[in-house]
Chain A
Amino acid sequence: MALNMNAINFQSPKCPSFALPPIASHRSPKFFMASTLRSGSNEVETVKKPFSPPREVHVQVTHSMPPQKIEIFKAMEDWAENNILVHLKPVEKCWQPQDFLPDPASDGFHDQVKELRERAKEIPDDYFVVLVGDMITEEALPTYQTMLNTLDGVRDETGASPTSWAVWTRAWTAEENRHGDLLNKYLYLCGRVDMRQIEKTIQYLIGSGMDPKSENSPYLGFIYTSFQERATFISHGNTARHAREHGDLKLAQICGTIASDEKRHETAYTKIVEKLFEIDPDGTVLAFADMMRKKISMPAHLMYDGRDDNLFDHFSAVAQRLGVYTARDYADILEHLVGRWKVENLTGLSADGQKAQDYVCGLPPRIRRLEERAQGRAKQAPRIPFSWIYDREVLL
């Protein structure tokens, strides 16, 4: 699952009305911003505790899928074995982080490191802010494996369950684990970033977790992961392209390789949801509309570095400005999924199902229009220091 998103937070705002964070200079449509509680927010009359990371403020709903539907997923296990597990790569055929890093066992190690650092010098700070945010998101993998194991009917009951779903989840996690490892080692060697601050951010983030509002429903959960995998594929594809533009072909290869993993994962998750649309079109379209109404929240939206109470907003703004992941991408992904799952052609839907169908199909242009408006009104953005780069400033 590509929950490794270094992108804009598209969560529901705190209040039903058009709620915005106090900083109003981003180019991204503000209504998408996080429904998170920052300590010291004026919603809650508390004294700000030092070093308190943001937390989820919405009511966390559980087990919204009717229990009889769990049967569907049990019945799908054979199908999953033949159709989903095939998208995993055998470990012997997999790349490993070492394939893209200087070889410590080689005499040329020091030269390779020197070259890596030379190339990294040519890459600007704003790119590194985005790459670091990306890496931090990847490193919060425990949260994502946990999330998959919250889903009814498909969770890994023991940690070594033989069901196809559990096999998928563990193998998916294992593949994803390489992403964080690779980016971590690259960033460690490059010398352009403050590893301690990054490590601290990771510790906070894993401690914070996240609630994607999948409510233990695999319908909601797999729709979420389908969206996220595609988002992360786009995002890593963009960081790869930028790295190439900055002349670092090895880094481009790193990002590109990670992106291709995400693409493979996207294929698997969208296939699951496609099957669900076949088996239970009404339930699945309702789930799709529900997730989109709640908005797809970014996995690292609770990120905190002990200093910046709006770290995720700042990071997303840079990702938006650099075009690594934007509000436009959000609309494009949604539109792609609507097409991929042939939502427009669904028939035999209930009245609610039809409303959900209309909502989902009509949503991409609305988001695009919103984004155009936001772009048209973008004010002069501030420069903000990021602790990840020793408090050097970057334009939002």
Chain B
Amino acid sequence: MTTEASSETEVKENAEESAAQPDQSEKATRETQEVLNTEEEDKEKGKVKEKEGKGISRYLPTWLKKQKSLSQTSPTKETPPTEEPTSKVTEEEEVSAPEVNGHAEEAEEKEEVKSEPVKEKEVESNSNGSADTEPAKEEKLEESVQTTPEENKETTKEEDVAEEEKKGQEQETQAEAEVQEGDGQTSIFQSPFRLVRKPKMKVVVCHVTLLDGTDFSCEVEKRANGQYLFFKVCEHLNLLEKDYFGLTYKDTHDEKCWLDPMKEIKRQIRSNNWQFSFNVKFYPPDPSLLTEDITRYLLCLQLRDDVASGRLPCSFVTHALLGSYTLQAEFGDQEPDQPRPLDFISQQTFAPNQSKEMEEKILELHKSHKGMTPAQADIQFLENAKKLSMYGVDLHRAKDSEGVDIMLGVCANGLLVYKDRLRINRFAWPKILKISYKRNNFYIKIRPGETEQFESTVGFKLQNHRSAKRLWKVCVENHSFFRLNAPEPPTKARFLTLGSKFRYSGRTQAQTRMASSLIDRPAPNFERTSSKRISRSLDGAPVISITEAGRDMTENGHDPNLELQSDSKSQMRVHGDNIYVRHSNLMLEDHDKTQEEVLKHQASISQLKRSFMEAPPPSPPQPSQWEKRLTSSPASTIRVQQQQVVSVPQMETASADNVISDTKEPAKTTEVEIEETVVIQEVSKATKAGNVTVTSNSPAGPPAEQESSEQKVRSDEEVVVVEEANQTRQESVSSESESEEEAEYHPNVTTSISNTQIPEEKEEEDKLEGEEEGEEMEPEVPAAPAPSLPAEISQPAEETPQEEEEPRKETEEGMKDEVEEKQGDPETEESTDDPMLTPDETPKSFVPPEVEEEEQEEPKVNGEASAVDAEPRPHGICCSELPVVKTEMVTISDTFAAQKTEIATKEVPIVHTETKTITYEAAQLDGNGEGEPGVLMTAQTITSESLCTTTTTHITKTLKGGLSETRIEKRIVITGDCDIDHDQALAQAIKEAKEQHPDMSVTRVVVHKETELAEEED
């Protein structure tokens, strides 16, 4: 609350300032617009239209502008800027901007232009200022990066203020801004960056299935974040009230996931499947409060599909009634002499089991709607649909504490528990104190009742950690959207890096309503596409028409299975209502502790993060490059991002495409550290088993520590794919799991609180310390954290490793090979932390923040780290908490080799722990580890929704005589549900390895499969 208040005041100040020069600023903006328009012919027309029509864009620009403006304003406060200067600046920008910026910038500019006219004077003024400011701001960012945290704070403050101003408008914008900044990280070097960037920009065609079944394709920069695409779609749809909607994609397990607007698309989707669908994300409880008919129309389209597919169950009569409104909306009054109405109606799907009787009933009811306009029919449709008990309920399959199959439904009011079709419990948002997940467990902490003294925690088991995380995210988003006036303050979200702290990044319902009330445009004309649909369906076009979609369960993205089965025959019956498990507060407390710790560190960390954040650009860009390389893996299931830590970064770079990838790596490394220890142990085990082949051709094994970089490099890649049952994997991947697995969210708490609490625990913890679970793990982790820096790592490793190792031994990851073992282990662990995040998000964003933290506070890092991870980019993904510790990682992300090396050094301590492990495992490696120079190691963990993949890459360079050999060992640990396709995973891994190191030969592939150990059941 306090933060908000302060921010508001600040905002006011800004507003005043802006107000002072409104007219001038407007002029300036218009001028800029004109210029831009001329430049961009296509967009020109938009001027007027843009104002009205492209509402989405306007927000973005404003925000950007604001940010910029803010930056200026803050300095300006003392000397308020005059209008003239601003205008000049804008002009300059205009000129430069188009050329310099990649698409993204252009888009931004456009948006800005559009937005400016639309917005109120304040906005405009801000925007103008912002435009001017941009350059300045970037500079600041750069400075901040290098500068001390304090400075960063200031900058962050400014940003915060700006953000808050926008409050009403959106966090999304912020996110975008961040992203953009991120893209431009280099922005620090603005112009150069852009120039550089252009050539690298890759464009991808995205296919978005719209609600009317049509397919919308657009080109998107490969590194674009989700929001960019979403806005593109909204623009195409001419949709202003877009906050109720979102884009979904299918993860590797073919489960529907919401595309996180804040994260890069590329990192979220499975490789190369740029297929999305546009869906309603938040079903407005009262659709009549929507401002525009077009919004209601889109909602109708979604609901028609929901109804037709059976996701939204309703009775025969209701099916008929809704169907009749659909007919009225799409075809108007029924003509008395309409030929063959039944045939015509049969082409449309109104219900899962559509009978002649129903069609007749629909037609009968249709007659009674005579004279109703399409918009009226839509309203009637919605008025009836909204009353359905399952309206807006997002179902997730789960088990209660007794293993009974249930369904958890997330909706505007809270969390519903169903057994078959029966509601057996309900937890309204106000009753829920905390939402968390750990591995495949999902917990809600319940406010004590009147007669109860203690809070209780209810636990549910999800199918796997992905499911748990997905459910958790949905809960966080729904709570934020429907219960909060404003999303949690971005500042906290940004800067607090507790584990993976996913937060809702968009506007809340309250905010979107506010924004909607400001919509001032004539009702847009839009075409109802029923006719299209029909024709398509007849054609058998691949495109999914709504009607067709209805039948196709999967399309909706909802798991058909998830839907309540009315028959319920198949499902087990639970005794009564026991869904709940009351736990002693132990679990909760643990979480809390971690949180507390995190909080303690937060301040310091936050500072670092802020600076980091400001620096933002580094992370995003890196990942993209990285991804490109990595993405090779066709198998969607496993996305392996390799975070490679190069012990001798420079040296190895040669070999190293892998190494290069580091940008992301750093972050991961941090996380990895803790986990790494675990891994190491596992590795050792693995080796025992014989599964792991450490030695590769290159003598490197024992290898010379010194790197003679230039000489021939032979690399052997060993790919070890370990697939574990879901549970097991967690352990093995522990690091990953930790970060991903656990997350907390305190709904009731103000935004700030919620952020802190959301920490996610990693799976590793469980494995390692089943009992300890999240908390213990976290703390330890920090110690271990030594990111992946190879050389140093080996030394320090000894200290921490033991403790961690033991627990971790349990983990099966052990796959890592000897050389890598020491270094790699740590890395791997990090990766493990990331896993959740890793998949797409983690790497870039998360890493950096953590790294910073590490530097400052290594010990505490664990708890904090988790928090940190989450914040940076990806609110959505929970980062491993542990990772946070390794702040340095962040630096690495920047791409600069130098930084990397530095980081490595810092990381070293962590490494030490690992080293010990290494020692255990392989004698050969030991030598290497000590020999710093010879070994590069990178560990990345990528977590896709379905799988956690941890890739550890050890690079060993050996000088023999005059020849240097480079051996690359990759250990890939895949933790997934039972459904993992091992063969595919292996094939992918090999393929990737080849692609990444075309000049190297794969000398050895060892596959070790582990089924789950009996997981301790929390």
Q: Do A and B come from the same complex?
A: no
